[in-house]
Amino acid sequence: MKKTSTRLADGRELIYYDQRDDAVRDAVDKRPLDPTVTTSEVRRDPLLGDSIAVASHRQGRTYHPPADECPLCPSQGDRLSEIPDSSYDAVVFENRFPSLAGDSGRCEVVCFTSDHNASFADLTEEQAALVLEAWTDRTSELSHLPSVEQVFCFENRGAEIGVTLGHPHGQIYAYPFTTPRTALMLRSVAAHKEATGGENLFDAVLERELAGERIVLEGEHWVAFVPYAAHWPYEVHLYPKRRVPDLLALDEDARTEFPQVYLELLRRFDRIFGENEPPTPYIAAWHQAPFGALEEFEGVNRDDFGLHLELFTIRRTSGKLKFLAGSESGMNVFINDVPPEFAARRLREVASS
């Protein structure tokens, strides 16, 4: 992998990740852009104890542009985009309309391929491995920023999810705090560790699932399963079999096998509802240990956390979406229409080709 860092016309960082070591990335952003101005502010809820970001400048962000005006495609002739070069393998750049910025963290966009009509599932294993390298590199770089406590790599796919740019891409949020969901996990890990005399909760969950009926895919180094208490109609958790706290700690064997398992999983997701259905909308979310202090989670350190990816769709059946209504949105009590055992069986049944 070759990494080349440059700057866009408004000063934002852009980084090319290339499979070939001889790639030359010297194209200049010729757009007449003014410096980016953000109004991001993090506010803490005194009752719930969590934090939200207020970012009013995002109201003006790009919204469903036609394909020939996509800002994530390479620049071609007079059509100038966020990527100055005429081609790329994978690229990461600072979001022009970030939810978090400055002392409030940082937001980046990850373009998986220059092919506008592709999806992550269409990538080759070599391309998927390059994206994994980009995620890992950005996790490392962002973790060293003084304002960052947690790095979150994720992909929103599909208009039903709320995606406003159709080009295959994901994002990275670098938070100035430990996210509420991660905090809940860490509290559960701490309680389990104390109650069992030191047993790790992530290990216990994985052991239970490996012995059960909800396994979807299993390789030598990775396993994908529908969790016992799945929140979403079709939800799969992908774990490395050797517990590690973050992407940086994956060994070479796990890195090599990841593209095979993940691409197979995504291709099965696209076939859950049948051949004639549109591509399955989903969110794919990497959960990594925070880089900040963990004193509030007594007895827990970073190595107690288990890196994993959570993949889920809001489509519950053909032509119908799962909406977060009163119980889910008002009380955070999910009601799942699809039994996890059925979801796992369906995902085992579908072929990816």
Return the closest-CA partner of residue 10 out of 37, 27, 35: 35
Residue 149 φ then ψ, to 5°: -115, -25
Residue 45 φ then ψ, to 5°: -80, 115
What distance in Å separates the CA atoms of residue 150 and residue 252, rounded to the nearest whole number? 24
Return the closest-CA partner of residue 249 out of 216, 294, 200, 286: 286
Residue 54 φ then ψ, to 5°: -105, 120
Q: Which of 167, 169, 287, 308 is catalytic?
A: 169
106, 94 Cβ separation under 8 angstroms:
yes
Amino acid, res. 153:
C
Return the closest-CA partner of residue 9 out of 26, 28, 25: 28
What distance in Å separates the CA atoms of residue 145 and residue 176, rounded to the nearest whole number? 10
What distance in Å separates the CA atoms of residue 335 and residue 196, rounded to the nearest whole number? 30
Indicate the SS3 state at residue 273.
coil
* Own/partner long-range contacts of 66-71 (Cβ < 8 Å, ≥24 apart): 67/116, 67/166, 70/116, 70/165, 70/166, 70/167, 71/165
Residue 155 φ then ψ, to 5°: -130, 130
Q: Is 169 in the active site?
A: yes
23, 14 Cβ separation under 8 angstroms:
no
DSSP E strand stretches across the chain: 2-7, 13-18, 41-44, 51-54, 90-94, 106-111, 150-157, 169-175, 215-218, 222-225, 234-240, 282-287, 308-313, 315-317, 320-321
Residue 134 φ then ψ, to 5°: -65, -45
Active-site residue set: 169
